[in-house]
């Protein structure tokens, strides 16, 4: 069984994430989407439970994908869950330096390799932080996130 781990903050999940998760699901028997409990970034917009719930909703059509969460080191979670690989999306060269550094650190710590999937070009500008910013100021994010996420963003910023 080849199990892949797709880690991230997913605050919130975007169409770019779904692109990477669904393409990963074609190549591995099992995919665990691992949501970090406490993102290092500024306070998250959505709670861990909300981020997981949205991911469950938007991946429910993918039978070999499950949603979980982790705290601390990703490689410890990977070892505990029998994951053989970490899979990340690369949007642009600006992602590369940090992703390479993390991949090498994770390899050094655990022997687990990271595989990169190139983001589909239509999503290469997308990030959760920009989606949050656009939604906060009332911009239209309906082409960037699934409808259920757009609805939650709307509700969050209306409140």
Q: What are the helix and strand counts (H, E) for the chain? A: 6, 5
102 counts as binding ligand PNS under rule CB under 6 A? yes
Other C-beta atoms lying within 10 Å of the C-beta of residue 20: 24
Closest contact distance (angstroms) between CB of 57 and ligand PNS is 18
Distance between terminal CA atoms of the chain? 45
Cis peptide before 12 (omega within 30 of 0): yes
CB of 137 to ligand PNS, least distance (A): 22
Asked if 6 is part of the footprint of ligand PNS (rule: CB under 6 A), the reply reads: no
17 is catalytic: yes
Residues 6+ apart with CB under 8 A from 116: 87, 88, 89, 90, 99, 103
Let me know the angle formed at the C-alpha of 130 by 147 and 114, rounded to the nearest 5 degrees: 90
Site stretch for ligand PNS (CB under 6 A), options 53-61, 98-106, 116-124, 131-139: 98-106
CB nearer to ligand PNS: give 63 or 67.
67
DSSP element (H, E) containing 124: none
Among residues 41, 60, 129, 136, which one is catalytic? 41
Please indicate whether residue 26 is annotated as part of the active site: no
Q: Is 158 a catalytic residue?
A: no
Residue among 23, 39, 124, 148 that touches ligand PNS (CB under 6 A): 39
Q: Does the protein bind ligand PNS through residue 114 (CB under 6 A)?
A: no
Site for ligand PNS contains 73 (CB under 6 A): yes
Q: Facing residues of 112 across strands?
A: none
In the complex, minimum distance from the CB of residue 35 to ligand PNS, in angstroms, rounded to a whole number? 8
Catalytic residue numbers? Answer: 17, 41, 91, 128
């Amino acid at each position: 069984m080849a199990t892949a781990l797709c880690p991230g903050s997913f605050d919130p999940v975007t169409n770019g994430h779904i692109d990477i998760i669904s393409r990963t699901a074609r190549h591995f028997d099992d995919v665990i989407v691992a949501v970090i409990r406490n993102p290092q970034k500024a306070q998250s917009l959505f709670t861990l439970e909300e981020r997981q719930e949205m991911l469950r909703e938007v991946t429910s059509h993918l039978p070999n994908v499950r949603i979980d969460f982790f705290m601390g080191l990703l490689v410890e979670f990977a070892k505990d869950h029998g994951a053989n690989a970490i899979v990340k999306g690369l949007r642009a060269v600006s992602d590369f330096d940090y992703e390479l550094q993390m991949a090498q650190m994770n390899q050094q710590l655990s022997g687990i390799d990271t595989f990169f999937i190139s983001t589909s070009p239509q999503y290469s500008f997308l990030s959760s932080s920009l989606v949050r910013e656009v939604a906060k100021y009332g911009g239209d994010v309906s082409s960037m996130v699934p409808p259920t996420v757009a609805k939650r963003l709307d509700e969050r910023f209306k409140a």
